[in-house]
Structure 1
Amino acid sequence: MNDGVLMERRKFLQLGLMAGGMAVLHAALPRVSSAQIRTVTLEECLNLSPLDMAQRSEMVLQSWNTLRQAVSEIRDASLRQAVFEILDNPAPTFIEPLSSEKDRKEVYRRLQAEGAVDEIPFDQFLPPVDDPRQSPWPFLAAPGSGYQSHHAYPGGLVTHTALNTMVSLSLYEHYKTVYDFQLDRDVVIASQVLHDLHKPWVFQWQEDGRSRAERKLAGTGEHHPYSVAESLHRGLPAEVCVAQACAHNHPGFPKDEEGPVRWLKAAAALTGKDPVRADLLDSDGKTLPLPRRMENFVCHLGDHDWVLTVPAAKWVIEEMKGIAVKDYGLSEADLKGRRFHQLRNYVFSQASIMTLYHVLSTRGSDALSHTVRSIVIPA
């Protein structure tokens, strides 16, 4: 190939990537750097609910706006409405038909037959909820994962999902620029926005400031099959449900594909559906529908923030314990109770674990301690 032609093609691709990718990110990216953090005392922290903390956070609110903007761009009106309804009230409506113990036992037996509930005894099957038509916590206030894991703070689910959605949309744009084809943008957005929709139910905030401990269902965190079941129960398109199921693993190799197949079977069992007839699995019930859609992989790739955010959370939480003792006078016993949990919840909700880890990794422990004190004033 002529070197001049090769150079022109390289320039074209670079410019296309910059124009396409940056246009999406610029439109969606929260202006976190300009966020105004509201300083409080430790005693004030103790009186704030998780929703209070999330609503005080400019970072969380900007991410929430980003998420809603993405959903507003879903072209299919019925899908767009369904996703907004879930964001506004991520209620576990799929358990409405399971109001009696008899019905729950029947579903539990179906899951047992699939080997999906080996780690959940029947008396711990399904998280508690007063009314399956109303989520116990708003999407806005929920953590992004378990209390020792990524985005574990009020509003963490919003920041986690917003970033994932931007990553997925960036992949959509870059595939279009480099390979000259378009994926189903509605599926890309809906599957990523909804991939953790039942974390407000599964990771309910507790009185001591921690979130509920999660159990495993079908070999993964229970929030995942429950979230797919909710989408299935609400009648979302099969391609959205399948892509959503791929958030935790991809279907590129047989061993990996066993994951989404298992989770789709669990979701079908939870909702009383046949996974093949519902177009969740191929005719033999052993793979995803063939040929496998590329949106499935994009949802999986978009949910890879955890590779950094999980260890970052581990390291920052340990640093926070030392700061709590040294700067706030908390005892070792306090580190296991509400005072410490409320302190870290507020700090993380206002600054994010990732921003704090950036401070730690670039400027050190003293700078991190100073940053924390600028958010919550020591007594």
Structure 2
Amino acid sequence: MLRPRSSTLLCAVLILSSSALAQNQTVPNQTIPGPGNAQAVKTAQASPLVQSAYDFLIGQTFLLKDSNLRYQTLDALANPNTCILHRANLKLADKQNIVAELLAQGLLNRADDTTFPGGLLAGVFPPVLHDPSACPQLPQSFWSAPGSAFGSHHSYPGGLPVHESNNDTADINLGEEYAHVYGSTDPATGTAALNILGIYLPHPDNPSPNALKLDHDLLLGAPLWHDWAKSIVFQWNADGSEFLELSIGGSGAGLDNYGAAGDARTGGHHILSIAESMLRGFSPAFIITQASAHSAPTSGNEFKVVNWIRAAAIIARLDLVAKGYLITDSHGNLRLPALRQTGQVDLLAAGQTNILTEYELHNLSDADFTFSGPAVAADQLVLAQLAPAFGYDPTQTAVYNNRFRNVVLSNYSAERLYTIYSHSGLDGVRNEIAKLHAAGKL
């Protein structure tokens, strides 16, 4: 493996919230990564939960069948000196040109240039190591990054591998679920038949002729790549909070749906991860599956996925049509291509989006934030209530975040703590924290 092994409660909550204002976030052309990154690495490295999640992801990587996908994913996750390809050899003028093109294409909100810390340039190009060079590198370990913005889901050191482990497991299980419900056939007739007593699932390397055909690499690989750039976007401030994240992929004017009503803005990590995948040489099917994490291209939402691919291609400086990521329809609009479909109905002409089942499954696998986010919000209140008993004052933001909040969440996860709280109340959570204290981790 390529790694080393209070005042009042209301006051505490207000301070917890304000600590996410990223007072240490860098500005354009400043190449210093987050000052709290080293502390986050130390916290994540000491967490069995985080390290076991990371080990799981590396193990999953070896199950990828496509040799380039397997090699590039292993390099991105396990190589501490991996190169960030979408940042390679970018000079200031290159970055400015990319931001200008994103603005011209309606894929950034111009107003963010005055409200986002450091402006649009800092949001699209957060500081990384060895920038500019032929091999810029991650500003922190992949496994020390959080899973989202401070106070949101998996927002603790190592939350990223924990989040990805959950999503990867979910995507594979969703594929098996579809095989159970939609892919089973009667051996005698070959017609669909759900066996409620238990369904035989053939081995992926030796499928039944009648088995539902799903791409194993898309189901397993897309969740590994979707959030990869969070290690770049969500760096750590000295006080244990995180950098803010810029929204990319839309104008913010509400007209992102080919000029009609629609808002395609999404977290910058999503776009940067797609740009990196493009430059790693992944297939159009993989790129579109990955891009579907934040919205499946169904129910009128194709424009979102299209815009995210457009933005990523601009950052990667690639011709998205020539690469086969998108096509141009009869109205001159960029649309999703018809992959795996030959001699079939022209779905675009019929007004139907071209989709693969894997797009939808990947989108569903990324949906745990519906619980994980509220769990963090609740846990922060619980931890602020319990902290004084362990010698920590929630109003002392830096000490509290770095030595208590982040340590507790990194070792237990918000989901586990909230489940314990819902069953056993404050006493249950207090007992869990006491174990960390007795082990000398607090």
Q: TM-score range by the shorter chain?
A: 0.7 to 0.9
2:146 is the counterpart of 1:146 = no
Distance 1:293 1:221 in 2: 24
The letter of the residue matching 2:168 is T
Provide, for residues 177-220 of structure 1, a one-character-per-residue CA deviation record: whole Å limited to 9, x for no partner: 32220211011111111000001111112222222121211211
Equivalence for 2:62: 72
Say which SS state the counterpart of residue 322 (structure 1) adopts.
helix
2:104 is the counterpart of 1:124 = no
Equivalence for 2:423: 362
Contact 1:92 1:198 in 2 (8 A): no
Contact 2:96 2:121 in 1 (8 A): no
2:352 is the counterpart of 1:296 = no
Distance 2:77 2:59 in 1: 12
Higher helix share: 1
Once the two structures are TM-superposed, the CA of residue 79 in structure 1 deviates from its matched residue by 1.1
Distance 1:64 1:337 in 2: 27
Equivalence for 2:201: none
Equivalence for 1:275: 320
Distance 2:83 2:307 in 1: 23
Distance 2:164 2:356 in 1: 22
Of 277, 295, 301 in structure 2, the residue corresponding to residue 231 of structure 1 is 277
Contact 1:343 1:376 in 2 (8 A): no
Say which SS state the counterpart of residue 277 (structure 1) adopts.
coil
Once the two structures are TM-superposed, the CA of residue 323 in structure 1 deviates from its matched residue by 1.6
Equivalence for 2:191: none
Distance 2:274 2:298 in 1: 20
Of 48, 62, 66 in structure 1, the residue corresponding to residue 52 of structure 2 is 62
Once the two structures are TM-superposed, the CA of residue 297 in structure 1 deviates from its matched residue by 1.0
Of 409, 414, 424 in structure 2, the residue corresponding to residue 353 of structure 1 is 414
Once the two structures are TM-superposed, the CA of residue 308 in structure 1 deviates from its matched residue by 0.5
Aligned pairs for 1:2-41 within 5 A: none
Distance 1:331 1:88 in 2: 37
Once the two structures are TM-superposed, the CA of residue 221 in structure 1 deviates from its matched residue by 0.9
Unaligned runs of 5+ in 2: 1-35, 114-118, 184-211, 250-264, 339-353
Once the two structures are TM-superposed, the CA of residue 296 in structure 1 deviates from its matched residue by 1.1
Once the two structures are TM-superposed, the CA of residue 92 in structure 1 deviates from its matched residue by 2.8
The letter of the residue matching 1:342 is R
Between 315-324 and 302-311, the greater mean CA deviation after superposition: 315-324
Equivalence for 1:261: 306
Say which SS state the counterpart of residue 293 (structure 2) adopts.
coil
Distance 2:427 2:177 in 1: 40
Equivalence for 1:178: 181
Equivalence for 1:220: 266
Once the two structures are TM-superposed, the CA of residue 58 in structure 1 deviates from its matched residue by 1.9
Of 390, 397, 404 in structure 2, the residue corresponding to residue 328 of structure 1 is 390
Provide, for residues 308-364 of structure 1, a one-character-per-residue CA deviation record: whole Å limited to 9, x for no partner: 00111111012111222x313444531x32333331111111111111001111111
Distance 2:374 2:178 in 1: 30
Provide, for residues 277-303 of structure 1, a one-character-per-residue CA deviation record: whole Å limited to 9, x for no partner: 222223334332233111111111110
Distance 1:71 1:251 in 2: 26
Say which SS state the counterpart of residue 45 (structure 2) adopts.
helix
2:201 is the counterpart of 1:156 = no
Contact 1:249 1:259 in 2 (8 A): yes
Contact 2:95 2:121 in 1 (8 A): no
Say which SS state the counterpart of residue 76 (structure 2) adopts.
helix
Provide, for residues 148-176 of structure 1, a one-character-per-residue CA deviation record: whole Å limited to 9, x for no partner: 11111111111110110011001112222
Distance 2:394 2:223 in 1: 39
Provide, for residues 221-270 of structure 1, a one-character-per-residue CA deviation record: whole Å limited to 9, x for no partner: 1111000001012212221111111100011122x222211111100111
Judging changes above 3 Å, is the alpha-carbon distance between structure 1 residues 62 and 332 closer, same or farther for their aligned structure 2 residues? closer
Contact 1:175 1:182 in 2 (8 A): no
Once the two structures are TM-superposed, the CA of residue 54 in structure 1 deviates from its matched residue by 2.0
Say which SS state the counterpart of residue 376 (structure 1) adopts.
helix
Provide, for residues 111-143 of structure 1, a one-character-per-residue CA deviation record: whole Å limited to 9, x for no partner: 001222212434424101122531111111111
Of 405, 411, 423 in structure 2, the residue corresponding to residue 344 of structure 1 is 405
Between 280-289 and 303-312, the greater mean CA deviation after superposition: 280-289
Distance 1:257 1:134 in 2: 33
RMSD: 2.0
